[in-house]
């Protein structure tokens, strides 16, 4: 299998954590796509994923799976022993509910803030954005506020249970973790009073599958190109 990704970026990081948790990292060849150079907007990548987002997993027969939840469902169920997506109907329901909330209320909101209210990934990528949409920055700023509200929601959840979807670590934890990693890189700080979320972040950072792959942020080469 080939994983089209970019080291240090939040959505690819989710899949690296899944691969590590499932012991599958050795079965995947990583193909780095130059997001800052807008390589994912070019025809070669779009022929694999018409929505032009990373990551995408290409199976050995050429089938391409995109969208992190989908890639995670595939990898987690390959051996018939799901660890991250739930075993019972109830677990599947609770994990998918929190997975969707982790995306809509945190990770995707941070992404909208980063790409629309800041200079994002720079000039090459900006050129692919609709010029006609005048309220873009204001919307991006609103999304940043929504992301911080999302942190507050997950803090409240983690005051009542050890992991995002209940008693065990799941893909929803991975998504919140990547959301916080992205928020930090985008300049959205976690409010000081979110003790449960901070304690959970420390615990998750120390899990072997996360410590091994997940805590890296944007690589030095990319940060330099972005002017940091």
H helix or E strand, kind and range, residue 177: helix 171-186
Region binding a second copy by CB under 8 A among candidate stretches 18-26, 83-91, 187-195, 197-205: 83-91
- The verdict on 63 binding a second copy (CB under 8 A) reads yes
- Residue 39: CA count within 13 A, CB half-sphere: 12
- The verdict on 51 binding a second copy (CB under 8 A) reads yes
Q: What is the DSSP string of 90-126?
A: HHHHHHHHHHHHHIIIIIHHHHHHHHHHS-TT-HHHH
Q: Which of 166, 112, 159, 168 is nearest to 139 (CA)?
A: 112
Q: Which is nearer to a second copy, 32 or 69 (CB)?
A: 69
Q: Which is nearer to a second copy, 36 or 95 (CB)?
A: 95
- The verdict on 27 binding a second copy (CB under 8 A) reads no
Among 27, 100, 159, 224, binds a second copy (CB under 8 A): 100
Q: Which is nearer to a second copy, 150 or 214 (CB)?
A: 150
Among 43, 60, 62, 89, binds a second copy (CB under 8 A): 89
Q: Which is nearer to a second copy, 58 or 222 (CB)?
A: 58
Among 8, 32, 67, 162, binds a second copy (CB under 8 A): 67
- The verdict on 224 binding a second copy (CB under 8 A) reads no
Distance CA 182, CA 194 (A): 17
- The verdict on 144 binding a second copy (CB under 8 A) reads no
Distance CA 213, CA 187 (A): 22
- The verdict on 86 binding a second copy (CB under 8 A) reads yes
- Residue 19: CA count within 13 A, CB half-sphere: 22
Whether the Cβ atoms of residue 35 and residue 54 lie closer than 8 Å to each other: yes
Whether the Cβ atoms of residue 165 and residue 158 lie closer than 8 Å to each other: no
Q: Which residues bind a second copy (CB under 8 A)?
A: 50-51, 59, 63, 65-67, 69-71, 73-78, 86, 88-90, 92-97, 99-101, 105, 130, 132-136, 138-139, 142, 153
């Amino acid at each position: 299998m080939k994983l089209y990704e970019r080291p240090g970026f939040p959505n690819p990081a989710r899949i690296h954590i899944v691969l590590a948790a499932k012991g599958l990292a050795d079965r995947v060849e990583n193909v780095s796509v130059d997001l800052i150079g807008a390589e994912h907007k070019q025809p070669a990548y779009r022929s694999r994923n018409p929505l032009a987002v990373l990551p995408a997993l290409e199976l050995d027969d050429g089938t391409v799976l995109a969208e992190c939840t989908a890639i995670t469902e595939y990898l987690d169920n390959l051996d018939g022993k799901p660890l991250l997506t739930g075993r019972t109907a109830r677990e599947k329901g609770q994990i998918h509910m929190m997975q969707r909330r982790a995306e809509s209320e945190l990770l995707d909101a941070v992404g909208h803030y980063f790409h629309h209210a800041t200079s994002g990934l720079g000039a090459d990528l900006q050129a692919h954005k609709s010029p006609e949409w005048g309220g873009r920055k204001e919307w991006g700023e609103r999304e940043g506020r929504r992301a911080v509200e999302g942190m507050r929601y997950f803090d409240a959840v983690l005051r009542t249970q050890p992991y995002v979807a209940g008693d065990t670590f799941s893909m929803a934890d991975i998504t919140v973790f990547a959301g916080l990693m992205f928020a930090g890189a985008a300049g959205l700080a976690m409010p000081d009073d979110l003790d449960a979320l901070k304690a959970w972040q420390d615990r998750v950072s120390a899990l072997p599958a996360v410590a091994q792959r997940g805590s890296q942020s944007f690589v030095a080469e990319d940060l330099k190109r972005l002017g940091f």
